[in-house]
Structure 1
Amino acid sequence: MQSLQGKCGLIIGVANAQSIAWGCARQLKAAGARSAITYLNAKAESHVRPLAEQIEAELILPCDVEQPGQLEAVFAALEQHWGQLDYLIHSIAYAPLADLHGRLVDCSTAGFLRAMDVSCHSLIRMAKLAEPLMPKGGTLLTMSYLGAERVVEHYGLMGPVKAALESTVRYLAAELAERGIRVHAISPGPMPTRAASGIAHFDTLMQAAMAKSPQHQLATPDDVGQLASFLISDAARVLTGSTHYVDAGYHIMG
């Protein structure tokens, strides 16, 4: 594991102990990084705060990207506390269930726009706020899924949204490279997180992925966290703009 000693950053998307973002937080802590953690709302705080305290998170803040001013308040707190930022992990996504469970062709305008705002445009907003806090460079990471490039049954609306997210990563990487800021998407295979539970027949999807992947297993949030640690480290200084798969090889299979 690469050392992240001295690096500090923000992790958005911890919901519970099964979250991909929690796997990242735990592995970054093990590598020596200092983190700030956010929670969605008061209901989520009771699940997130004990986890954040386990990794000695220096800030534990509310952040609902749909609430005006909350995201800006988080970055203002970061600037006051650290004065700078080395990394940001964006691990949030949302689509209204009525739109997610239906056909893409039937999705509502409001549902599509909301899914794009929370799952994709929020990364752009965070990049804009993070840029002035990364005068010496930094790393932005977001979470995608194979449904961005292939049709995955029952993934529906989120497929085009994640495709937009991966394209956003490439454009941000090109725009921010001159500031020394690197941008990546991590594409985990299916794993039993709270967010994934909203996808219809998700258990079947996990079983199929395990059967078809060359390694015949599922990745874990800790596996994602170990890759995140590497991408944030100085060892990955010449890597940017890519989508990295953590799926036991499932993405290479026809």
Structure 2
Amino acid sequence: MDYLQLAGKSILVMGVANRKSVAAHVGRLLLEEGAEVIFSVRSESRREQVAKLFPDSDIVVCDVERQEEIDALAEHVKASGKPLHGIVHSIAFANYSGEPASFHETRREDFLQAVDVSCYSLMAVSNAMRDCLDRQASVVTISISTTRMAAENYGYMGPIKAALDSSLCFLAKSFSAFSEVRFNAVCPGLLKTSASAGIPGYVDSYLFAEKVIPRGRAVATEEVANSVVFLLSPRSSGINAQGLVIDAAMAINYFDRGVVRGALGS
């Protein structure tokens, strides 16, 4: 039974970095569901790596900092002659090299580059793919479980993810003038991925999350991917301009008795 109704649907998955990334998990699930997946990656070297994971799939190089490459990707999709039923935007970048700085010391060039790659790229890709998208297509991006917690090590990416979350509403509204394309985000808690490992102090935060989460273990990347695939499917047709939080109830449990006692040393 094809419950998710994704068999034969064409989906663009952007941002596969390696086998552990959210985009890679999403791609595998989509292929299992019978979808036709086009992957886009940042560089030729990344394309060669991803080809080992998905040897039978179409893999295109697209650096979203270059508008001409976004346009070329759109032309590539259009040339297939098939409507695009979904886009997965799993792209983010922040320059965490060097010593971590306080938020107010964030460099202009770092902030603007992160906005461009992590937020504006969703707008640019959606606009470029406008004529390729099926009237009822679904666009899903990857955000974070909360942008209201000022995690020092995550730094300026918090406000940038907040901008990404807000952009969903405006994209959903503007696309509604000519389509029923939906824009949603999956907002996971802390994940064990290669990208997250590059965030200063992330391991400690991850281990703390496991203390706070009621079930005693952090969110798995597969759980996030499952939610992405659901939002891509027609089964989620009533969900638009929303952020689906996947944090295994961490947000309800900060005052867990054991956590409080540990913080107070009692």
TM-score, normalized by length of structure 1? 0.93
User: CA shift at 1:3, angstroms?
Assistant: 3.0
Larger Rg: 2
- Aligned pairs for 1:221-240 within 5 A: 221-240=221-240
Mapped to 1, the partners of 2:16 and 2:134 lie a distance apart of 27
Q: Show CA shifts across 1:197-225 (max 9, x none).
A: 22111111111111101222222222122
Partner of 2:161: 162
Given that 2:15 and 2:23 are in contact with CA atoms closer than 8 Å, whether structure 1 keeps it comes out as yes
User: CA shift at 1:34, angstroms?
Assistant: 0.9
Change (3 A) 1:99 1:79: farther
Calculate percent identity across the aligned residue pairs. 27
Correspondent of 1:23 among 22, 25, 43: 25
Q: Show CA shifts across 1:122-148 (max 9, x none).
A: 000011122211242201111111352
Partner of 1:41: 43
Q: What amino acid does structure 1 have at the position aligned with 2:111?
A: F
Partner of 2:54: 52
Partner of 1:184: 184
The unaligned stretches of length 5 or more in structure 1 are none
- Aligned pairs for 1:188-199 within 5 A: 188-199=188-199
Q: What amino acid does structure 1 have at the position aligned with 2:210?
A: M
Q: What amino acid does structure 2 have at the position aligned with 1:8?
A: S
Alignment of 1:103 with 2:102, yes or no, is yes
Partner secondary structure for residue 136 of structure 1: strand
Partner secondary structure for residue 15 of structure 1: coil
Partner of 1:131: 130
Q: What amino acid does structure 1 have at the position aligned with 2:186?
A: I
Q: CA RMSD in A?
A: 1.7
- Aligned pairs for 1:52-71 within 5 A: 52-53=54-55, 56-57=56-57, 59-71=58-70
Given that 1:3 and 1:32 are in contact with CA atoms closer than 8 Å, whether structure 2 keeps it comes out as no
Q: Show CA shifts across 1:140-170 (max 9, x none).
A: 1111113523222311010010000000112
Change (3 A) 1:238 1:153: same
Q: What amino acid does structure 1 have at the position aligned with 2:166?
A: S
Partner of 2:258: none
Q: What amino acid does structure 2 have at the position aligned with 1:7?
A: K
Mapped to 1, the partners of 2:184 and 2:24 lie a distance apart of 18
Change (3 A) 1:8 1:99: farther
Given that 2:136 and 2:181 are in contact with CA atoms closer than 8 Å, whether structure 1 keeps it comes out as yes
Q: What amino acid does structure 1 have at the position aligned with 2:39?
A: I
Given that 1:99 and 1:157 are in contact with CA atoms closer than 8 Å, whether structure 2 keeps it comes out as no
Partner secondary structure for residue 219 of structure 1: coil
Q: What amino acid does structure 1 have at the position aligned with 2:125?
A: M
Partner of 1:152: 151
Mapped to 2, the partners of 1:135 and 1:174 lie a distance apart of 17
User: CA shift at 1:62, angstroms?
Assistant: 0.6
Mapped to 2, the partners of 1:125 and 1:99 lie a distance apart of 30
Correspondent of 1:32 among 25, 31, 34: 34
Mapped to 2, the partners of 1:244 and 1:123 lie a distance apart of 17
Q: How many residues are matched? A: 251
Partner of 2:262: none
Mapped to 1, the partners of 2:48 and 2:169 lie a distance apart of 36
Mapped to 2, the partners of 1:216 and 1:82 lie a distance apart of 48
The unaligned stretches of length 5 or more in structure 2 are 255-266
